[in-house]
């Protein structure tokens, strides 16, 4: 039976609610789906009985701009992130801090001073980009590109971290979507929202995309079970992302500092941490402490 009721989106819906998760993390926070999506991205065949442990660290990279899922599968530890704005060249450093905290938690009951080697899962860092700016289908970001060449000799770095960025906008990297129905469905849903938004408000665009995708059997079970959450989460993260972008653009104009400080104050009033405010505004610690 086709879904054509939009009134049920409003029952219990609070547009002002603070959503700590995103549509991305809600959808991909499932072991079987992660195995499917990882296989789709890498082209590897993942056994149906593979064991996956989700190790996502809350409030580390997730701030309305980055949405992350981390999981251990066999001998690998995968950090999977969705990115909806311009590709951030600082991502390798952020990933380094993230993975260090995961390894710290994995090793908390181990004797790191023992002569016996404590085996750790091999890390993999994947960013799925679905922003509106055109970027290549695949990019590789390296931590070593951020290092200062102290002696000018170009000596090899003693520390490296590699992040692979895939463009998952509809029609990009189609082989990945073909291998993963869930990833394909997610791409289609986001694309549908953006197409709808050309002719209606963002909220109505999201609601219509949910109804249309359910009727077309795209992420049907997920959207039927989480329709109100999906609308609220996507409104929250896209509005926040847009606010960040606007603040940065205005930062190039004469009234930059005043507008940025006003935006930071609003973020503080909403309970955002100092680190989140700094990340979103580019202010210094001293600036934020003065609020």
Q: Is residue 48 part of a domain?
A: yes
Q: Is residue 273 part of a domain?
A: no
Residue-range definition of the domain harbouring residue 53:
17-250
Own/partner pairs, 187-195, CB within 8 angstroms, 24+ separation: 187/130, 188/213, 188/218, 189/213, 189/218, 189/219, 189/223, 190/130, 193/234, 194/132
Q: Is residue 258 part of a domain?
A: no
Q: Is residue 219 part of a domain?
A: yes
Give the pLDDT confidence score for residue 211 in this predicted structure. Answer: 96
Give the pLDDT confidence score for residue 184 in this predicted structure. Answer: 97
Residue numbers in the chain where pLDDT is lower than 50: 1, 12-13, 15-16, 19, 62-65, 251-252, 254
Give the pLDDT confidence score for residue 83 in this predicted structure. Answer: 81
Domain total in the chain = 1
Give the pLDDT confidence score for residue 199 in this predicted structure. Answer: 96
pLDDT > 70: what percent of the chain? 82
Strand-strand pairing, 52-54 and 66-73: antiparallel
Give the pLDDT confidence score for residue 22 in this predicted structure. Answer: 83
Q: Is residue 220 part of a domain?
A: yes
Q: Is residue 100 part of a domain?
A: yes
pTM above 0.85, yes or no: no
| 271 phi-psi bin (left φ>0, alpha ψ -120 to 50, beta other) | left
DSSP string, 193-242: HHHHTTTS-HHHHHHHHHHHHHHTTSSHHHHHHHHHHHHHHHHHHHHHHH
- Cα three-residue angle 90-93-95, rounded to 5 degrees: 105
Structure tokens at 31: 């072991």
Give the pLDDT confidence score for residue 16 in this predicted structure. Answer: 47
240-269 pLDDT, tens per residue? 665 555 555 554 454 667 778 888 888 888
Give the pLDDT confidence score for residue 165 in this predicted structure. Answer: 96
Give the number of residues written for the chain: 291
Q: Is residue 62 part of a domain?
A: yes
Q: Edge-to-edge strands of the sheet including 66-73? A: 52-54, 66-73, 76-83, 122-129, 162-167, 138-142
Q: Is residue 284 part of a domain?
A: no
Q: How many CB atoms are located within 10 Å of the residue 25 CB?
A: 19
């Amino acid at each position: 039976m086709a879904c054509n009721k939009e009134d049920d989106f409003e029952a219990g819906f609070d547009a002002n609610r603070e959503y700590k998760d995103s549509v991305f993390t809600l959808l991909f926070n499932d072991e079987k789906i992660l195995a499917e999506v990882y296989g789709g991205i890498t082209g590897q065949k993942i056994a149906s009985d593979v064991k996956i442990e989700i190790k996502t660290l809350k409030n580390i990279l997730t701030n309305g701009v980055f949405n992350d899922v981390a999981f251990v599968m066999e001998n690998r530890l995968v950090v999977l992130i969705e990115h909806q704005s311009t590709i951030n060249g600082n991502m390798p450093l952020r990933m380094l801090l993230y993975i260090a905290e995961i390894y710290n938690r994995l090793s908390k009951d181990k004797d790191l001073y023992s002569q016996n080697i404590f085996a750790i899962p091999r890390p993999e860092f994947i960013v799925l980009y679905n922003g509106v700016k055109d970027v290549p289908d695949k990019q590789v970001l390296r931590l070593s590109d951020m290092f200062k060449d102290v002696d000018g000799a170009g000596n090899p770095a003693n520390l490296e971290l590699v992040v692979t960025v895939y463009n998952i906008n509809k029609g990009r990297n189609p082989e990945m979507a073909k291998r993963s129905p869930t990833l394909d469905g997610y791409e289609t849903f986001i694309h549908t929202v953006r197409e709808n938004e050309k002719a209606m408000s963002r909220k109505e665009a999201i609601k219509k995309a949910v109804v249309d995708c359910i009727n077309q059997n795209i992420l049907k079970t997920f959207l039927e079970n989480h329709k109100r959450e999906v609308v609220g989460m996507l409104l929250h993260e896209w509005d926040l992302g847009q606010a960040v972008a606007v603040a940065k653009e205005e930062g190039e104009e004469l009234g930059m500092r005043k507008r940025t400080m006003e935006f930071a104050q609003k973020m503080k009033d909403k309970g955002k941490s100092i680190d989140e405010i700094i990340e979103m505004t580019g202010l210094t610690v001293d600036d934020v402490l003065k609020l």
